[in-house]
Amino acid sequence: MKLPDKTVPMAEAVARVQDGATVMLGGFGVPGTPFLLIQELLRQGARDLTIVKNDANETGMGVDHLLAEGRVAKLITTHIGLNARAIEMMNDGRIEVEFCAQGILAERIRAGGAGLQAIVTDIGLDTELANGKAKVEVDGKPAMIETALRADAAFIHAAKADPFGNLGYAATARNFNPLMAMAADLVIAEAETVLPLGGLTPDEVHTPGPFVDHVVELAELSEEYDIVRR
Amino acid sequence: MKLPDKTVPMAEAVARVQDGATVMLGGFGVPGTPFLLIQELLRQGARDLTIVKNDANETGMGVDHLLAEGRVAKLITTHIGLNARAIEMMNDGRIEVEFCAQGILAERIRAGGAGLQAIVTDIGLDTELANGKAKVEVDGKPAMIETALRADAAFIHAAKADPFGNLGYAATARNFNPLMAMAADLVIAEAETVLPLGGLTPDEVHTPGPFVDHVVELAELSEEYDIVRR
Amino acid sequence: MSGAKERMVARAAREIRPGMVVNLGIGLPTRVVNHLAADMPVCLHTENGLSGIGPTLPIDQADRNLIDAGGAYVSTVPGSAFFDSAASFALVRSGRLDMTMLGAFEVAQNGDLANWKIPGRFSPGAGGAIELAQKARRVLVLSTHTDRKGNPKLIENCTLPLTARGCVDRIFTDMAVIDVTPEGFALREIAEGLTLDDVIKATGAPLTLPEGEIPVF
Amino acid sequence: MSGAKERMVARAAREIRPGMVVNLGIGLPTRVVNHLAADMPVCLHTENGLSGIGPTLPIDQADRNLIDAGGAYVSTVPGSAFFDSAASFALVRSGRLDMTMLGAFEVAQNGDLANWKIPGRFSPGAGGAIELAQKARRVLVLSTHTDRKGNPKLIENCTLPLTARGCVDRIFTDMAVIDVTPEGFALREIAEGLTLDDVIKATGAPLTLPEGEIPVF
């Protein structure tokens, strides 16, 4: 046996994302955000999207392009404080925003990726994030059910990949990427480098290939990946 | 700042485990089983233990020593088919055995390590493993609550460690080790090699140091770690 | 292994399609790997934490830390990955396992599977079988057609504790290839040298027969 | 930064004990790191996936993939580890974070904290604050004693949406060090140059006073 090859051109992979899709985007701020896959999604024109991402990037970057072009119906996120447009669109009712505690967003995505229906947690029980969520007792203590999140597609940014879809992330660019790479029906990974099979050792792999559908090699990075000078 | 040093002699670390404790043991069969920590636990004499381990090893190895000496009150496990003594003691009522589906045992331990109260799953709903477990509906579908597992102590076997407790596992010796290393109040890692700080790169770390309480370097491995000749 | 069993295993191997991720259960299913072509693009998964299983190694070449779920000393291939037990079953439960091949004590005509417990006699625990049976996209059973006493394993209703309900898609035995359909068991192929009557007699539930000649394997 | 604020930060740094794992929130708390000795055995954690934060780097030495949760370009130390967001908060929720230092809009005398939302004016989301406040073993607040309009931030009951209930252990401001006790706010130390009356006037809830002379920081 040899492991299957999943490399495809970016346009072909992204064309599978339909209007109305839920799309997970890796990244925490700049590191790990799949900026070029987002650009391709923008170019192909999908609309009415539900975006799941830790943050809304900053104005003029990543998710903000989708917001500016009116492609986003809903955002499931933890913090949008660096994107004034996102806050304004939320306040004006032009997008719906669902906030999660950051680690609970991570766990809901992981639960989706792990084929669980939900997790049970006491995080946020005393806050408005508990509104509308089912409450249960575990060992006599109050908790609530946070349902698993899955997406139609997940866009992942990896530092290294092999053709089977084994992925390795760089430093804090890991963040939500390995979780989202488990949690979508269509997982597309853009990689700065695609090595031949065996180029990543079995111990270097952060996301095992069976979770990944398509691998796209980036010819070069755009400016959005660069260091942010404030 | 520099990272704290957590290396201690094995006897000192294991002495913190009391009679009646719940102890998690890494490993799937031989790989990843902390045989020398188990030997030390046996030597120090703790009894009435609840052991959480994927399997009961084979006769004459690992968990079987604790069973043979009558130290185990309860076993939480997935499969004990290679240990006739464990099956016999279960059938005679000399130990209590709680069976879990293998991946659900993994998730219950992980949930304990992640500070969650429980997970919600449909695994085993149609089987006798569902007996006595709370049922819930998620998005209109039936599921059940599997409570998180935590232990008083977890014994971990690592291939490499550094003094801060960063751990790296070898091949399929990983299995339950990184999950259990998150899920106990006292996490003791035995390591085949303890490298100086920096000897494991930040990307090579499978279990981050903050989860680990004590690091014990193994002078040499016992025969139990060897290849099993059947 | 008898000729009939060997042909059963070879026939089952033909179910594996290019691109699949496959988990082969302990026992007969493991032997399917011997019938896969060297250039077949497929990923074998073992639940103790490896995708991309390579050939089983003799003891003198074995790595003490590299086993499959059955305890065999295996190897890696270019592109293998190691992961923990939670990630391993995440893959199974979330639909990334295209196929599993499992053994059976009993299979019911509605696809119920019992393969982990004979109360009072044999209760080792289910290991990973419940999740494999319940969540693999396609569940194949590889088994002798009857038990050691000659009693049928394919029956109307399971009498043993279930592994999973309605999970089995297709059954390969030393006598036949049989699908589980909404109408119950449907005979698809028959082992070389057997008559239709042999198969019917050894089966504990009604068999829908194919139209025309029955293919032989 | 004013002298009083600088002394507040230096004072807060003295809460960090050898062996601790500490998360420093965005803003004033981050500056605590400048007051830790080079040989202090401590592990700094940032929720975006790093244990063992090293010094912040100037732009021309920065690694584009290595930031803290506030977006600063940081570095590693020998023994640092990278992990994903789920593992990062697993550490927080399971009790492995010995201490966090957070900012505040309001702290109530029962330890309730509000620091993430001013309805109608500022609703960016809580990020990781809810879990840090609810689950760190010790929660310290670093904040100015009053808001920009001079209104007290330490009050009887929070008026803003809560981050977590009863979570705050100790508060460091530019005016005082105050503990949250079962009897409400207890003054522990006072900033150099201030009178007791200054602190009482700027605080929106009763203050228990220490016996004897009040230590100055």
With a CB cutoff of 8 Å and minimum separation 6, the contacts of C53 are C33, C44, C45, C46, C68, C74, C75, C76, C77, C80
Give residue C2's pLDDT.
Answer: 80
At residue A128, the pLDDT reads 94
| Among candidates A121, A134, A171 on the partner chain, residue whose Cβ is nearest the Cβ of B117 | A121
> C10-37: string of b/e by CB count within 10 Å (b at 16+)?
ebbbebbeeebbbbbbbebbbbbbeeee
**B145–A114 CB contact, under 8 Å:** no
Question: Is A223 a domain residue?
Answer: no
CATH assignment of the domain containing A182: 3.40.1080.10
Domain segments of chain D as ranges? 3-208
Number of domains in chain A: 1
> Does the pLDDT value for residue A31 go beyond 80?
yes
B19-28 pLDDT, tens per residue?
Answer: 999 999 999 9
What crossing angle do the helices spanning A102-113 and D85-93 adopt, rounded to 10°? 120
Q: What is the pLDDT of residue C123?
A: 86
Q: Is the pLDDT of residue A191 over 80?
A: yes
The answer to whether position A32 is within a domain reads yes
B212 lies in some domain: yes
Catalytic residues of C: 47
pLDDT tens by residue, B98-156 = 999 999 999 999 999 999 999 999 999 999 999 999 999 999 999 999 999 999 999 99
What is the DSSP code string of chain D? Answer: --HHHHHHHHHHHTT--TT-EEEEPTTGGGGGGGGS-TT-B-EEEETTTEEEEE----GGG--TT-B-TTS-B-EEEEEEEE--HHHHHHHHHTT---EEEE--SEEETTS-EE-S-BTTTB----TTHHHHHHHSSSEEEE--SB-TTS-BSEESS--SPPSBSS---EEE-SSEEEEEETTEEEEEEE-TT--HHHHHHT-BS-EEPPSSSPPB-
Instruction: Identify the pLDDT of residue D120.
Output: 82
pLDDT at D28: 86
| Out of D48, D126, D165, closest to residue A99 by CB | D126
- Kindly state the DSSP code that residue C111 receives in the 8-state scheme: S
**Model confidence over A122-161: pLDDT tens digits?**
999 999 999 999 999 999 999 999 999 999 999 999 999 9
pLDDT tens-place values along chain B, 230 residues long: 799 999 999 999 999 999 999 999 999 999 999 999 999 999 999 999 999 999 999 999 999 999 999 999 999 999 999 999 999 999 999 999 999 999 999 999 999 999 999 999 999 999 999 999 999 999 999 999 999 999 999 999 999 999 999 999 999 999 999 999 999 999 999 999 999 999 999 999 999 999 999 999 999 999 999 999 87
Check whether D188 has a pLDDT greater than 80: yes
Average pLDDT, integer, range C79-101: 98
Q: Which of D105, D87, D97 lies closest to D143, judged by CA?
A: D105
Q: Provide the pLDDT for residue C165.
A: 98
- Percent of chain A at pLDDT exceeding 70: 100
Residue B141 belongs to a domain: no
Distance CA A75, CA C32 (A): 47
Q: What is the DSSP string of B105-118?
A: HHHHHHHHHTT-SE
Inform me whether the pLDDT recorded for C27 exceeds 90.
no
Tokens of A117: 């229906």
- Is residue D33 within 8 A of residue D69, CB to CB? The reply is no
Contact C43 A5 (CB under 8 A): no
Query: ipTM score here?
Result: 0.97
Query: What residue in B sits closest to A118 (Cα-Cα)?
Result: B120
Rounded to 5 degrees, φ, ψ at B64 are: -60, -35
- Residue B193 lies in domain: 11-117+150-218
- pTM for the model: 0.98
pLDDT tops 90 at residue D126: yes
Asked whether the beta carbons of residue B176 and residue C84 sit closer than 8 angstroms, the reply is: yes
**pLDDT tens digit string along A66-96?**
999 999 999 999 999 999 999 999 999 999 9
Contact partners of A by the rule of 3+ C-beta pairs under 8 A?
B, C, D
Task: Report the candidate in D83, D76, D89 with the shortest Cα–Cα distance to residue A174.
Answer: D83
How large a percentage of chain C has pLDDT more than 70? 100
Query: With an 8 Å Cβ cutoff, are C93 and B123 in contact?
Result: yes
Q: What is the pLDDT of residue D27?
A: 84
Confidence (pLDDT) at C38: 87
- Give the per-residue pLDDT at C56: 93
Mean pLDDT of the D187-200 span: 96
Strand partners, C75: C54
The pLDDT value recorded for residue C173 is 97
* Cα of C213 to nearest chain A Cα, Å: 34
Contacts of D58 by beta carbon, 8 Å cutoff, 6+ apart? none
What is the CATH number that goes with domain D3-208? 3.40.1080.10
**pLDDT of C129 higher than 80:** yes
Mean pLDDT, rounded, of chain C: 95
Cβ distance B2 to D40 less than 8 Å, yes or no, reads yes
Q: How confident is the model at residue D1 (pLDDT cuts 50, 70, 90)?
A: low
Answer whether A139 touches B (CB < 8 Å).
yes
Look at residue D152 and tell me whether its pLDDT is greater than 70.
yes
Per-residue pLDDT tens over the stretch D61-81: 999 999 999 999 999 999 999
For the segment D33-64, what is each residue's pLDDT rounded down to a tens digit? 889 998 999 999 999 999 999 999 999 999 99
Residue A122 inside a domain? The answer is no
